[in-house]
Amino acid sequence: MTTSRPTTLDLPVKGMDCAACAQHVEGAIARLPGVQTVQVLLSAERATVAFDPAQVNLEQIRTAVAQAGYSIPDTAGETKAAPEPASTGPRLTSLSALGWAALGLVALVVIGAAIGERVGLFDRVVERLPWWLPALAIILGGWPVFRNVIQAARQRQITSHTLMTLGVVAAASIGQWATAALLVFFMRFGDWIEGLTTARSRQALQTLIAQQPAQARVVRNGQEVEVPVSQIAEGDVVAVRPGERIPVDGTVILGGAPVDQAPITGESVPVDKLPGDSVFAATIVQGGYLQVQATGVGQDTTFAHIVRLVEEAETHKAPVQRFADRFASYYMPLVLGIAILTYLVTGQLLNAVAVLVVTCACAITMATPVVVLASVGAAARRGLLIKGGLTLESLARVDTLVMDKTGTLTWGEPRVTEVVPLNGVARNHLLQSVAAVEARSEHPLARALVRAARTEGLTLPQVAQFTAVAGQGVTAALDGATWTVGNRRLLDEQGCPVSAGAEAQAQALEAAGQTVFFAARAGETIGLVALADTVRPEVKDALASLRQLGVRHQVLLTGDHERVAAAVAAELGLDYRAGLLPDDKIRFVRDLQAAGSRVLMIGDGVNDAPALAQADVGMAMGVAGTDVALEAADIALLRDDWRLMPEAVQLGRRATGTIRQNLGFTAVYNLLGISLAALGILPPVWAAAAQSIPDIAIMLNSARLASWRGGHR
């Protein structure tokens, strides 16, 4: 059979309220001929399907989903539109409302009568209830459930609703119409709770999506024209006023304003933006006015990358989640077998019915996804992009940190660290003069000197007779005197002797891994300036916090010189390896793993990519807007802040612990419930009511992670 080029559709799917729903949709689509891959995202209510259009088409996919009990809107297209908020909770149609009213009426009468009979207020009220009233309530209120059970049966699937429906049929078959109606009532109530739980887990994603503006002003022919964001093209210029969100990724070409970048990087302080600076979609202009030329629009913005990663987090399943999914597939037949055995041993059909209805399969399958969605969404608000449950579980186990130096531990650019005046020269005069002499040089160290002087508010005078000496330094005339700024060799050639005191200070700075410039005026050495790629100020505290969390083995891997690596490692209390190539870093990580270590590797996401991929968890720094780094790393930091690292480890441990709490509670609860039901201690009505409790417990337990704001103990 010939195959055509694969087509990928990204389709909205309506009606999914729990993890089992997503599994049913995925299974229905996967069974179609020609479907190559399918991912169903419960959090976003979407399915991404790759298929051979010669064998299957959109209508066949829509039909398969409909037969599974869900729907793909007729307006669904073949390209992904701008992110839309997922549903905020269970939907209530007119037919559903009628069913709820009928069930509620019967439930109120039956429960009220049962309580009244216990205290002697009523006598045999339930028995006088006409059978057709609860029967009507069962049909009206239970039809949505029964329809899904029939559709699942056609696909040879057993669900928790299948078992409860059997319980309803069994109760009705022996004339227990009121009991059957109450079973349906509590079954629908449990579904409603599950819908609320799923909606709660989607809240972080909805919060992200809501930050994308729908309208924007595009500058055309000198006029600002308001258009939908979807109509903006790369290269367009958009105008953004105070209080508005920037609709695109781009470069500022006019104006200036402080911009709140918290939606992307999590930074709490606005960042001043001027012409030439980059800005991100969904960030907020706070005062001032900007014109931005778009470099990324729609799904190509950093904001869209974040939304997609949060949406797809649930597809990266941790081992504990895969175990739960496999267990749930065997759990339903096991419960059915227990119910049959209960009836055969006790001869009590109601006991068997209670076993069927007390089961909580959805709670098992949702115990992990709810936690993952809540954790990943909360982390994204802090500037941490975590790719799903597998990464969270791996984070919880790390005990070794391996790190790059340049651009990771350090700023990745030279900065002035020391200004040492000699022979009575003022410090500021020395820095101002050296920067003025170096201002015409294109060398990175020269630019660092100029930047340092301007940062301190120093005005640079003009120089004359500027000469650059390759590999040595520069000379220039300033204030009627000849200045020489460079290394020892240049000063020797210019006849400027270096005093013993200056040489001793220079050697001490060089031993600490710094580069030293000597400065001479009219043949006399009057000072020196040291530069280095300095360590980020928050690194030391972050490393200490990681040690408190049990990540005590910390190793610096760098391609830099031994002297520089040793100085940085000594400052931070690290082991180190210097002069390494990318292959050497991979081998080192592999050796650690072979010795039993769980390795967290942090790098810049480019030359460290092989080692990031080899580590148990790879973390890339400073990658806002960088597609390669977002794809390569397990975790991406959207701002260069080491304080996010201990937060990530702590979140991984909290999330994994919460998953285990959810699964443990559900397992114990189900075991106890089935046992009590089989012994006749838990009647069908209370079994139906009890089956919704794990869903509520999981929702409340997982909600703690949805409100996570960082920080660690």
Helix (H) or strand (E) holding 419: strand 415-421
Q: Which of 688, 674, 6 is nearest to 352 (CA)?
A: 674
Phi and psi at 327, nearest 5°, equal: -60, -40
Do residues 117 and 124 lie in contact, with contact meaning Cβ atoms separated by under 8 Å? Answer: yes
Q: Distance between CA 686 and CA 313 in Å, rounded? A: 37
For residue 267, the cross-strand partners are none
Apex CA 202: angle with CA 196 and CA 204, to 5°?
130
Helix or strand run (H / E) with residue 160: helix 160-173
- Residue 340 to residue 145: CA distance in whole angstroms: 22
Question: What's the rounded Cα separation, in Å, for the pair 445 and 458?
Answer: 18
Confirm whether 584 is a catalytic residue: no
Is the CB of residue 331 less than 8 Å from the CB of residue 325? Answer: no
Strand, helix or coil for residue 420: strand
Q: For the chain, first and last CA: distance in Å?
A: 61
- Residues contacting residue 348 through CB under 8 Å, at least 6 positions apart: 342, 680
Residue 50 CA: distances (Å) to CA of 28, 76, 78? 14, 15, 11
**Of 243, 211, 241, the residue nearest 224 (C-alpha):** 241
Q: Could you give the CA distance from residue 44 to residue 501 in angstroms, rounded to a whole number?
A: 68
CA distance 652 to 393: 6
Distance CA 343, CA 353 (A): 9
Catalytic entry in 10, 17, 191, 404: 404
> What is the rounded distance in angstroms from the CA atom of residue 27 to the CA atom of residue 13?
14
Tell me the C-alpha distance between 435 and 429, whole Å.
10
Active-site annotation, residues: 404
